[in-house]
Chain A
Amino acid sequence: MSKYKKLALPLILVLGIVLIAVFGKALSAKSAVKDNRTEVVFWHEMGGPSEQALVKVVDGFNKSQNKYKVVPKYQGSYDEAIQKILQTHNTSTSPAVFQAFDISTAQMLHSGYTTPVQNFIDEDKYDVSKISAVARAFYANDGKQQAMPFNTSQPVLYFNASLLEKYGITPPPVSPSYSDITRVAKELYEKSGHKVKGMTVQVYGWFLEQALANANRQLANNNDGHTGNPTKVNVNNPDTVEFLNWIKENIKAGDFIDYGSGANAGANQTAGFLSDKVGIFIQSSASMGQLSKSNKNKLGITYFPHPDGKKANGVSIGGAALWISNDKPKDVQRGAFEFIKYTLKPEVQAQWQKSTGYLALNKDSQKTDILKELYAKNPESKVPGEQLAHAKANFSNSGILMEGMQLTRQLEEVAMETVYNGGDIKTALNTADKNINDNLTQLNKANGFK
């Protein structure tokens, strides 16, 4: 008996090795046989339902032709992906085409790691006039298209229309002022017997920047970086103060609920909104897919609110663009551009808007049945696109082309949190200004900018 026992372990090991050898070979053979297409590695940062929609876009491209195969790879959050992209450049793991978010545009531009898509546009005589000009302008420099906008969103204000109806509250106008929203929020809080909080604004630097854009105020000098590298930032300005005062007023009235910052806050406020705990919140139009799908209430949408007694200047776009790395061979870069062209097709963009809430960038998308059906079913889903069409692009609402925007945003958020927790607005903004400018000066020095 003991003789066999001694044999058991080596026998199992040998058997295991044989099994792995046989089936492992079969498995690897399978993947090798697949095809001889050129592989185009695509890094993206879309999670949740948006990722599923994106994978469908990629599958569609892979089926539409047989020369290239795009391989999508999820890279975590927008913030974390930037350093991965920059630090893996010129290695075998780097992507051929990647998605980088709006505020990293200056970094990508200065890195010199990308091939401007303009090169391919010129080669192919590709007609870009169909693509939203506002979105294109965001990722262009010196008249050259650097990257192609892909997922483009607008910040909008969502409200629970069913709750407003229930308590007999007049809904806010399509382009509301701060006091319009305060009125609705206070009424909702009072009429519901303090059961429903009126509003929330997530601690998110993007919203603060958008409030400035909508008030036609520039955050950085040199026209928010569009006419030269910024050297000074001015967060402490009357428009930021007005924006924060608006929030502070609602905090004092008790109708405001603070969910904090970051992805958790975003998830918590969505949960709060869907479960009738809060009536109004500001979020990207990209949340629409999720909000209309799992909502038992009627969803209301308005433009981003603007300061009282001022005309709305329009907000800038958010989202991300697709860039082509220049460390890959010609044919791979060509494949990357073919993929980009595919993502901009009217039907693809229309389906993208329908499933995610990002805006269709191709003007012809509006004529597709997909969007016509969507608008017929949910008329409110037109609002973000109308807001975008309404805005006349100028320097204040075309984004901030500046290095160090990620830290800038964190510091803006610290200022917002300070105010939400009862701190003085002026002091908080002065601290933010000092820290942002210190960082900017150092970055400009390190990069050799003047």
Chain B
Amino acid sequence: MLKTSTTDAIPDKKVNATHRHSFRLNAKDKYYAAVFLGPSLLVLGLFVFYPMLKTLYISLFLTNTLGNTTVYVGLGNYVNLISSPDFISSLFVTLFYVFAVTFFTVALGLLLANLASQKLPGIAIFRTLYSVTMGVSVAVAAIFWLFIFNPSTGFFALMSSWFNLPVMNWLTNPTSAMWAVIITTVWMNLGFTFLILLGAIQSVPNTLYEAADVEGASSNFQFFHITIPMISPTLFFVSTITIIGSFKSFGLIDMITKGGPTNATNMLVYRIYKDAFYSGNYSKSSAEAIILTVIIAFFTLLQFKFLEKKVNY
């Protein structure tokens, strides 16, 4: 079953490989290539490659008050970062956040999608409700959750006082602040993940379930042996998107915790922003940006190397 399956990537690679050997450009082709590639190369070069190289360049220097490079330090900025406990903890915090967010987003999204895929009267209401966070902007979500977390007048504080429980100060305790950010991010992500997974579950052919019913398989068995394998490409897509998205998470952190308390939620992207645009330390933040690029590239490669092979029908 696995051996005979073909993914889109495989024939593509073959075509490329054969082309590369017999690739000769005549003058006319070269002209067309220049015309068609020129504009996009220009835009990419100006807005992607030039800033990337410039970041790499700045990361090898110290920058002064005006943001100009002054003293060449080679890999000094990188050495400083790697030997700084602050930065290392930031790295671990980021990884923890990314994996927690991805795990809960995909797990809850799958649960809700599975529930909402039942054919029951009125199910459309739930489908709408579950995907409603897609329409909520980051700023609105952050303020909404800030109201909930407020230790004096917030919803959680009110609930605690009703039940005579001690009031928990979500955003000032390092551990709970991290969970507060995770909860908010998962809540934000859920709508989109739910919708994509629901679409995938609904496109699983009904005949498979009918056959399983005839065999007398339980609904649990059907979920793990039919639904999950059938939607695995979508699961792969959703988790990749969520991992990359959470690495880049900025808005919620900026509005909810500002990286605090005690740097407990100071993720890499937020740290880069703060070092550059609060402290004006462009060299340090450039070095951090390069490190982040390497990490994301590593995870992307890892996913394509390993996870894609596991995707099966």
Contacts and interface: CB of A to CB of B under 8 A. Distances in A.
A258 B169 contact: yes
B7 interface: no
A129 interface: no
A86 B150 contact: no
B62 A80 contact: no
Contacts of B277: 80, 83
B70 A417 contact: no
A262 B64 contact: no
5 contacts: A260-B171, A261-B258, A272-B151, A407-B278, A448-B70
A104 to B, nearest CB: 9
B205 interface: no
B134 to A, nearest CB: 25
B65 interface: yes
Interface in B21-80: 62-67, 70-71, 80
B62 A445 contact: yes
Nearest to B142: A264
A423 B80 CA distance: 25
A409 to B, nearest CB: 9
A443 B275 CA distance: 13
B67 A414 contact: no
B118 interface: no
A435 B86 contact: yes
Contacts of A406: 278-280
A80 B278 contact: yes
Contacts of B173: 421
Contacts of B257: 260, 262
Contacts of B274: 410
Contacts of A443: 64-65, 281
A261 B152 contact: no
Contacts of B275: 407
Contacts of A111: 65-66
A271 B62 contact: no
Interface of A: 79-80, 82-83, 86-87, 107, 110-111, 203, 257-262, 264, 268, 271-272, 275, 277-278, 403-404, 406-407, 410, 413-414, 417-418, 420-421, 423, 435, 438-439, 442-443, 445-448
Interface in B251-274: 255-258, 260-263, 274
Given A260-B261, A271-B150, A403 B172 contact: no
B142 to A, nearest CB: 9
A166 to B, nearest CB: 18
Nearest to A261: B260
Given A404-B279, A410-B274, A446-B63, A258 B153 contact: no
A446 B70 contact: yes
Most buried by B among A111, A258, A435, A439: A258
A261 B173 CA distance: 11
Contact of A447 (B70, B86, B171, B260): B70
Given A258-B169, A446-B71, A417 B262 contact: yes
Contacts of A414: 260, 262-263
A403 B278 CA distance: 12
Contacts of A260: 169, 171-172, 257, 260-261
Most buried by B among A275, A417, A423, A448: A417
B21 to A, nearest CB: 48
B152 A268 contact: yes
Nearest to A414: B262
